[in-house]
Structure 1
Amino acid sequence: MFTLYQFKPAFQNCLRPLVNRFATWQISPNQITVSAILLSVAMGLTITFYPQSKFVFLLFPIILLLRMALNAIDGMLAREQNLTTDMGFVLNELGDIISDVALYLPFSFIPGIKAPWIITIVILAIIAEIIGFLKFIIDNKRSYEGPMGKSDRALFFAIISLVLGFGIQLESISFMNSIWVGMVVLLLWTIFNRSQ
């Protein structure tokens, strides 16, 4: 099943010089993980307080990309510099869930978006990540199967935010409910795939 996760090796190669620089500066993987969490929470709070700001929604995809970069960097730094710790593993998994909640739940406050869809998507995303983590305990291999993994969710919400940033009202999009339904179905599919 195609997922954006398949582009991770190429993305990591682009980030490797920065990872080496962070290692030289003695920045720990946990510091990077915490930075990604704080960035996500700050962006989520900004959406909560300014749910009609076009600038905020144009900024959102940039913050998502930065979050994804930090998520890749902390793992590379831990593995390639032999800095892996049990705390780092837990913090990384917990950070993904906290960041997803912080970034996506505030969309329920945006005019034109029905909050139950966002809440359902966030809950299913949490379940998908927990199952991926549990597979590591069972098989000693973290499950990243899609089709609606972390990167795919980020792309979806980035597109929605750009639509809002360009001033298009979501209630004017006749098939918007179908998009939400589609995302829920893809998340359920992801949960099923990760459960195998």
Structure 2
Amino acid sequence: MTLYDLKPAFQTLLRPLLRSLHRAGITANQVTLLALLASLALGLLLTLHPAPALFLLLPGFLLVRMALNAIDGMLAREFNQQSKLGAVLNEAGDVLSDAALYLPFALLPGADPIAVVVMVLLANLTEFVGVIAQTVGAARRYDGPLGKSDRAFALGAYALLVGLYAPALAWSPWLFWALAALCALTCLNRARRALQEAA
């Protein structure tokens, strides 16, 4: 069970906005690029100014990014906008956005930069393993325990905490090592279930 399992309900909430965007001529690829560029911009801001108070921007942005990620997929599927370019933009955009938004945690006071970098690398590996499942004849894997939505929730909550409660900065090393371990477990689960499905 991961937050990804709540995606159908989330999509239902977004459907009125989806229809408005389609009528306005907005395409799935444009939404994907908007999410990526906004993520890179916020990541750059947090890198240049790694003040705990600025990390209060992250929880709300991560929610908006999740909405944009849902909308681009819905536009592609429901309005015949699926393309090979869109698939590449979607997967590459997620990896780049995660790196841009999560690496700045390494610059906060009390952080263990190695733990943050290892977590981000393993988070990206979870998406790679999820995609590579398709090369062995399985479906794209979204298994947990720490998929993209779960990471966003955990790190959004931590960003909110460090912005409001300075002592939480000291929790960073063990938190990121724990998240790294959960990402590694997620990779194993996705690989194992992809092989089981392919068999």
CA contact (8 A) 2:111 2:173 kept: no
Percent identity of paired positions between Structure 1 and Structure 2: 43
- Per-residue CA deviations over 1:134-158 (Å, capped at 9, x if unaligned) read 1123225111011000001101111
Cα distance change of structure 1 residues 58 and 171 upon mapping to structure 2, 3 Å threshold: closer
Q: Which residue of 1 aligns with 2:195?
A: none
Return the match for 1:147 from 142, 145, 156. Answer: 145
CA contact (8 A) 1:113 1:170 kept: no
Q: Which residue of 2 aligns with 1:189?
A: 185
Structure 1 portions without partners, runs of 5+: none
CA contact (8 A) 1:146 1:190 kept: yes
Q: Return the alpha-carbon distance in structure 1 between the equivalents of residues 163 and 137 of structure 2.
A: 43
Query: What root-mean-square deviation, in Å, do the aligned CA atoms of Structure 1 and Structure 2 show?
Result: 1.3
Q: Return the alpha-carbon distance in structure 2 between the equivalents of residues 186 and 162 of structure 1.
A: 21
Q: Which residue of 2 aligns with 1:72?
A: 70
Q: Which residue of 1 aligns with 2:89?
A: 91
Q: Which residue of 2 aligns with 1:32?
A: 31
CA contact (8 A) 2:119 2:177 kept: no
Q: Return the alpha-carbon distance in structure 1 between the equivalents of residues 19 and 135 of structure 2.
A: 30
Deviation at 1:172, TM superposition (A): 4.2
- Per-residue CA deviations over 1:144-175 (Å, capped at 9, x if unaligned) read 011000001101111111111104233544xx
Please state if 1:117 is matched with 2:115.
yes
**1:82 partner letter:** N
Could you tell me the TM-score, scaled by structure 2's length?
0.92
- Per-residue CA deviations over 1:77-135 (Å, capped at 9, x if unaligned) read 00000110011011100010010011001111111111001000000011110111111
Deviation at 1:185, TM superposition (A): 1.6
Cα distance change of structure 1 residues 187 and 88 upon mapping to structure 2, 3 Å threshold: same
Q: Which residue of 1 aligns with 2:125?
A: 127
Q: Return the alpha-carbon distance in structure 2 between the equivalents of residues 113 and 177 of structure 1.
A: 6
**2:181 partner letter:** V
Deviation at 1:58, TM superposition (A): 1.4
Q: Which residue of 2 aligns with 1:22?
A: 21
CA contact (8 A) 2:123 2:180 kept: no
- Superposed, 1:167-178 pairs within 5 Å as 167-173=165-171, 176-178=172-174
**2:132 partner letter:** L
Deviation at 1:193, TM superposition (A): 0.8
Could you tell me the TM-score, scaled by structure 1's length?
0.93
Deviation at 1:57, TM superposition (A): 1.5
Q: Return the alpha-carbon distance in structure 2 between the equivalents of residues 39 and 117 of structure 1.
A: 25
SS in 2 for 1:169: helix
